[in-house]
Amino acid sequence: MSIEIKTSTLEPVRNTFANLQRRFGDKPATRYQEATYDIQPLVNFHYRPLWDQDRELTDASRTALQMNDWYAFKDPRQFYYGTYVQQRAKMQENAENNYGFFEKRDLTRLLPETVKGQLIRFLVPLRHVEHTANLNNMYCSSYGFGTALTQAFLYNGMDRLGVAQYLSRIGLLLDGNTGEALEEAKQLWMEAPYWQPLRKLCEEMLTTEDWFELFIAQDVVMDSLVYDLFFEQYDAALTEQGAQDIGMLTEFMRDWAKDTNRWVDAVLKIAVAESDANKTLITGWIESWRGQVAEALSAVSREMLGEEALNMALQNLDKRLAKAGIK
């Protein structure tokens, strides 16, 4: 038997805000819709920014990409702030358990010395790459257009700070909290020849002006290749060497990439499907950045995983691109 609590019902005057009625009809809106659509100011800005006097404060012309409606970029995860932090809180709880277990059992002790050295050479310096990703996504959030996209960029930017901090914690686990592993890793990032092409590219990305191009460079091309190499292929290589416990410390990154790629792929697909002009533009950007990123990753991936790794990562990238309509 089910018990039904009697409540008094009042007929509402309207179901939702007028902008959502116009978009979706007069029916109750989801919290994602209420928190996303049309909330960015669109017209009648008062002053041109001193830092970009040719444009309005919020201006769709900061990218060459053109959209009829910038709110077409619906996030398949439907992240607004509340759903975003709750989803990440679940992931961090899991990560916290993993890091806690690793620390409590002192699993660093079981790592072969050669692996410890490798982690400092390959995994820990990646935190600087993640820091670049943090800045690039903040860039897209602040110069991008339409809350549907800009909020997702902000979440991505903050995620990358989180990943950089997790990678730093791996360093601290290795050096017993002295910070020596982090220093050593930074020195390698600054000086080791196999990191320099990637560092050069990171610095150059930070001067890229078109924000959608930067999204292509960072979130599509760079992340696809980096996460494949460092968190999939390298994880498998560590397992081969008896260092599978590191997988606990990078589980967050794999889960994160899986979650985020759903959104990245959706954005790409929507932008490409919008018009032939967009498709041409994006194809050009992909071509240019695919080449540059591959070149920048070539030395470090060879050093870390051998000759074939990068090709495999590139093949996976191409598969994703094909699904979005780019061959």
Q: Which is nearer to other proteins, 26 or 308 (CB)?
A: 26
Q: Which is nearer to other proteins, 119 or 313 (CB)?
A: 119
Smallest gap from residue 139 Cβ to other proteins (A) = 5
Q: Which is nearer to other proteins, 56 or 235 (CB)?
A: 56
Q: Which is nearer to other proteins, 75 or 130 (CB)?
A: 130
Smallest gap from residue 156 Cβ to other proteins (A) = 11
Q: Which is nearer to other proteins, 15 or 239 (CB)?
A: 15
Q: Which is nearer to other proteins, 211 or 272 (CB)?
A: 211
Smallest gap from residue 105 Cβ to other proteins (A) = 13
**Sign of the Cα pseudo-torsion (118, 228, 219, 285, in order):** positive
Smallest gap from residue 112 Cβ to other proteins (A) = 17
Smallest gap from residue 81 Cβ to other proteins (A) = 4
Smallest gap from residue 269 Cβ to other proteins (A) = 25
Q: Which is nearer to other proteins, 59 or 318 (CB)?
A: 59
Smallest gap from residue 16 Cβ to other proteins (A) = 7
Give a three-class secondary structure readout of the chain: CCCCCCCCCCCCCCCCCHHHHHHHCCCCCCHHHHHHCCCCCCCCCCCCCCCCCCCCCCCHHHCCCCCCCHHHCCCCCCCCHHHHHHHHHHHHHHHHHHHHHHHHCCHHHHCCHHHHHHHHHHHCCHHHHHHHHHHHHHHHHHHCCCHHHHHHHHHHHHHHHHHHHHHHHHHHHHHCCCCHHHHHHHHHHHHCCCCHHHHHHHHHHCCCCCHHHHHHHHHHHHHHHHHHHHHHHHHHHHHHCCCCCHHHHCHHHHHHHHHHHHHHHHHHHHHHHHCHHHHHHHHHHHHHHHHHHHHHHHHHHHHHHCCCHHHHHHHHHHHHHHHCCCC
